[in-house]
Copies of this chain bind each other. A is one copy, B any other.
């Protein structure tokens, strides 16, 4: 009764190793991001992540031998997720055909006010005092920054220095505004400030 029927019978799914590997790692990395969002960096322990992923310790350590390995991989995974989020948002705005500045700012705020951004904040702050994380984080942050600037060019047709700086300042403003959400949940307040930012941005670009 140990071996499953080898011929006709239940027809077990045959999943290639590479695919199984990908799925299990994905579960662990998703669980890591989720834990960062829910309980923060210090309490994102390997046990916490293993439980969230529903995997045994052995399975976990097979893929990520140490907590550091897990977190470093989580940075890359988070970058992927944000990238997907970004592309989806960009497509949505393009379809809606909003005015470019509005589209850009709204799109960015959607990302900065979404749950994934808490994971970014946790990792960013942890990276400040952890050289290994810092190196990784920087790489992906720059890459996404470049992609955002590219989208701005695509939307507005402007690629000059002034535009670049305006995008940069927008990102900083969003970052600071997003942090405020630690204390306040008042969506109307943020909506108001976002509208005001659009005005400032237009002035900067004119």
Interface residues, chain A, with chain B CB atoms under 8 Å away: 38-43, 118, 121-122, 124-130, 134, 137-138, 141, 165, 168-169, 171-177, 179-180, 182-183, 193, 196-197, 200, 203-204
Contact = CB atoms under 8 A, between A and B. Distances in A.
B169 A173 contact: yes
Nearest to A181: B128
A124 B165 contact: no
- Say whether chain A's binding surface is mostly helix, strand, loop, or mixed: helix
A62 to B, nearest CB: 26
B40 A126 contact: yes
Given A40-B125, A125-B125, A176-B177, 13 more contacts: A40-B126, A118-B128, A121-B128, A124-B182, A127-B182, A169-B173, A169-B193, A169-B197, A172-B177, A172-B179, A175-B175, A175-B180, A203-B203
A204 B193 contact: no
Nearest to A130: B40
Contact of A175 (B42, B137, B169, B176): B176
Nearest to A165: B196
Contacts of A169: 173, 193, 196-197, 200
